[in-house]
Homo-oligomer: A and B are copies of this chain.
Amino acid sequence: MGKPFASLPAPGARPFIVEVRRGAQVESRHPVVATIVDGDGKALASWGDPQAWIFPRSSNKAIQALPLVESGAADAFSLSQSELSMACASHGGETRHTETAAAWLARIGRKPEDLECGAHWPYHEETARQIARDGRAPTSLHNNCSGKHCGMVSVATHLGEDVRGYVMPDHPVQRRVTAAIEDVCGVKIPAEQFATDGCSMPTMAIPLHNLAWGFARFVTGTGLAPERTKAAKRLAAAVAAEPFFVAGSGRFCTAVMQAGKGRFIAKTGAEGIYTAASAELGLGIALKVLDGTARAAQTALGGLLEHLKLLDEDAREQIRPLVEQPLNNWRGINVGSIGLPAF
């Protein structure tokens, strides 16, 4: 008890490894590319090639939410901290999430059908089972991205733009999002790096370095316009204050921010991405598990937070089972673990 998480290897050209162990053996291995960058864009440490272009996916939702604040929509609609947090979320579709999204839409005169994210069963297993037990089907409100889409619809509504098609790359809502990403992350994104996300919005690959740099600037404001800095800090504060609304019960984003007590923000993205940012240290973190596996991403982030001494003893113990993940079988017998190798 109380032991720090295993140290990362020395930074360098090689990815670091997250191990999946069974008995005394390593059964599977996940290589992780990661980088830590300050507000000036200086890399403090990297593992693997930080210039690799990766899709941030949902990990940069807080950056995508900047126009929601900057446009005046957040103020016009009196968005709460919970709602701003949900605008940056990949939530579990729990009742508190869907009720918050539904009330938000009602308040701005919109309906769940206006969300163009599609429906999927809630990530939160027990909620999904309950919906099935009730003979109901999931709606767009249960989509993990529904809060982000409420934000997009809010911007279009506030600015008097046609809400329909707000997910299309040429809609002004998306053009503002792309411009915000390019500005904050300091990168011009060529056309061939544009693709489509699970929720039908555009998603654009950028170098991992620029993703980390973007998050360093998100919390420091280094080199950003004052209005943008203010909006970013407001969103970061909302996420830190309401971490349940960014993810949910049992989820690492929520647990690690609760444990961190405001010292950092952190966000997962599909295909093995994590970002984090610490205003206290003035830096951003971005990592990609090269094979895209989520189970390794949270372990990797735990290692990076430990590396940066961002976890006190309490924080470490709170998140330990999500970083040094025990693997228990169907009868609850421990058969292995996921973790960083002991160097």
- Min CB gap A294→B, angstroms: 11
Interface residues of A in 319-337 (CB under 8 A from B): 329-333, 335-336
Pick the contact of A22: B128, B203, B293 (CB < 8 A): B203
Shortest distance between the CB of A106 and any CB in chain B (Å): 23
CB of A199 closer than 8 Å to a CB of B: yes
Q: A117-B330, A132-B133, A200-B329 are in contact. Are A28 and B192 (CB under 8 A)?
A: no
Q: CA separation between A29 and B293, bound complex, in Å?
A: 10
Residues 8-52 of chain A: 1 if any B CB is under 8 Å from the residue's CB, otherwise 0? 000000000000101111011111000000000000000000000
- Selected from B53, B197, B205, B336, the residue in CB contact (under 8 A) with A195 is B336
> How many residues of A are counted as interface, with CB atoms below 8 angstroms from the partner's CB atoms?
51
Residue of B nearest to A132 (CB): B132
Q: Does A261 contact B (CB under 8 A)?
A: no
Contact A25 B193 (CB under 8 A): yes
Kindly provide the distance from the CB of A171 to the nearest chain B CB, expressed in whole angstroms.
Answer: 16
Which residues on the B side are within 8 Å of A330 (C-beta)? 117-120, 143, 198-200
| Chain B neighbourhood of A290, CB < 8 A | 28-29
- Could you mark each residue 173-215 of chain A with 1 if its beta carbon is under 8 Å from any beta carbon of chain B, else 0? 0000000000000000000111111111001010000000000
Residue on B nearest A196 in the bound complex, by CB: B335
A195 neighbours in B (Cβ, 8 Å): 22-25, 335-336
User: Chain copies in the assembly?
Assistant: 2
Question: What residues of B have a CB within 8 angstroms of the CB of A118 in the complex?
Answer: 329-332
Instruction: Please tell me if the beta carbons of B291 and A29 are within 8 angstroms of each other in the complex.
Output: yes
Are the CB atoms of A292 and B53 closer together than 8 Å? no
> B residues within 8 A CB of A147?
none
In the assembled complex, A129 has its CB within 8 A of some CB on chain B:
yes
- Residues of B near A55 (CB, < 8 A) are 22, 25, 27
Give the complex CA separation of A183 and B341 in angstroms.
34
A138 to chain B minimum Cβ distance, whole angstroms, is 10
CB of A271 closer than 8 Å to a CB of B: yes
**Is A272's beta carbon under 8 Å from chain B?**
yes
In the assembled complex, A109 has its CB within 8 A of some CB on chain B: no
A25 vs B189: C-alpha distance when bound (angstroms): 13
Chain B residues within an 8 Å CB radius of A53: 25
Ranked nearest first, the 7 interchain pairs of A and B with the lowest CB-CB distance are A23-B195, A28-B292, A118-B330, A132-B132, A118-B331, A291-B291, A22-B195
Q: Could you pull out 30 A-B pairs where Cβ atoms are within 8 angstroms? A: A22-B195, A23-B194, A24-B192, A24-B193, A25-B53, A25-B55, A25-B192, A25-B195, A27-B271, A27-B292, A28-B289, A30-B291, A31-B291, A117-B331, A118-B329, A120-B330, A128-B132, A129-B132, A133-B133, A143-B330, A195-B336, A197-B329, A197-B335, A198-B329, A198-B330, A199-B329, A199-B330, A200-B331, A292-B293, A293-B293
Taking A27-B292, A196-B333, A198-B330 as given, write out 7 further A-B residue pairs in contact, using a Cβ cutoff of 8 Å, ordered by the A residue number: A22-B195, A22-B203, A24-B192, A28-B291, A28-B292, A200-B330, A200-B333
